Amino acid sequence: MVNYYQILGIREGASLAEIKKAYRNKVKNLHPDLRGDDKKRQEFDNLVEAYRILADERQRHVFDEAFMMGRRTVHTENDSFDYRKWLLARNDEESRAKLIFFDLIHNNEDEAVKEFKRMQSSYQSFSLKKWFSHEDFMDYGYILAEELVFREEYYDAFLLLEQIITLEYRLHYFNLFFPEVLEFTIDILRKKIDGSINDELAIDVWERALELGFSNSDDSFFLRKMANKYSKIGDQYTASICMDEAQRLIN
């Protein structure tokens, strides 16, 4: 029987965050568009299948039962040292940032989101990006953004995605996955922002989105939304400017 954990190069108890990161890292070198031979194509197909099974909670459970006969193993680097407890006892920003990502990759997503929200509201300058490599921030930051959206925290999710998109334009790290990041962000901007935050914050989000390299159609949509909000708050002059620019982009 195929060992999907081995294909992805992860431990049996790996979290969803670890599964996603392992898949992204491996698929870059195996995608048929980049490596066209049959062997690489088969490896790519196996990798996709492993990700599909392990990223789905129900299918992963079935696989675990069949492959490991219900055996659950938990691996720790050092049983005598509780890293999470050590992080919890510290109040500096670096430790709290590392606690957020530690919880995120150890199936403790609720606590990760809760601590991220707390740090965002308590420290104006708090930034996860400051304490991690660009690659780790982009990987885990994207997963954190997904968790925020799942909990309807759309504004905070956008702020993370804005940083990730800006970094991707510089680093080209996500490569094949970048369209997925953009699509996820656009869905938030088009469907989730309006009505979930106050008008001033919504305007700020759509204005910032104009700097992220989306299509003219998307930018026109954002400008029309801004125009409606400016009109609603009584700024007809700015509303008119936004509407004119929105129309220009699609002509």
210 within domain boundaries: no
* Residue 29: CATH number of its domain: 1.10.287.110
Task: Please give the full DSSP string across 99-168, using - where no structure is assigned.
Answer: HHHHHHTTT-HHHHHHHHHHHHHH-TT--GGGGS-HHHHHHHHHHHHHHHHHTT-HHHHHHHHHHHHHHH
For residue 107, being part of any structural domain is answered with no
Q: Is the dihedral of CA 169, 124, 228, 231 positive or negative?
A: negative
Within 13 Å and on the Cβ side, how many CA atoms surround 129? 13
Is the per-residue pLDDT at 154 higher than 50?
A: yes
Residues forming beta bridges with residue 194, ordered by sequence position: 197
What is the number of other CB atoms lying within 10 angstroms of the CB of residue 127? 14
Instruction: Work out the average pLDDT over 119-142.
Output: 90
Answer yes or no: is 9 within a domain: yes
Range of the domain at 11: 1-81
pLDDT digits (tens, 9 = 90+) for 30-44: 655 544 567 777 888
Q: Is residue 142 in a domain?
A: no
245 within domain boundaries: no
Residue 21 included in any domain: yes
pLDDT for 26: 84
CA distance 64 to 73: 11
How many domains, the chain?
Answer: 1
Closest CA to 1 of 58, 54, 67: 67
At residue 242, the pLDDT reads 98
pLDDT in tens, 177-202: 899 999 999 999 999 999 999 999 99
* Residue 70: burial class (beta carbons within 10 Å; 0-12, 13-18, 19+): exposed
| 116 is a domain residue | no
What are 74-97's pLDDT values in tens digits? 344 444 578 889 899 999 999 999
Question: Whole-prediction pTM value?
Answer: 0.73
pLDDT of residue 185: 98
15-24, 59-68, 225-234 — which is least confidently predicted? 59-68
Q: Is residue 149 included in any domain, yes or no?
A: no
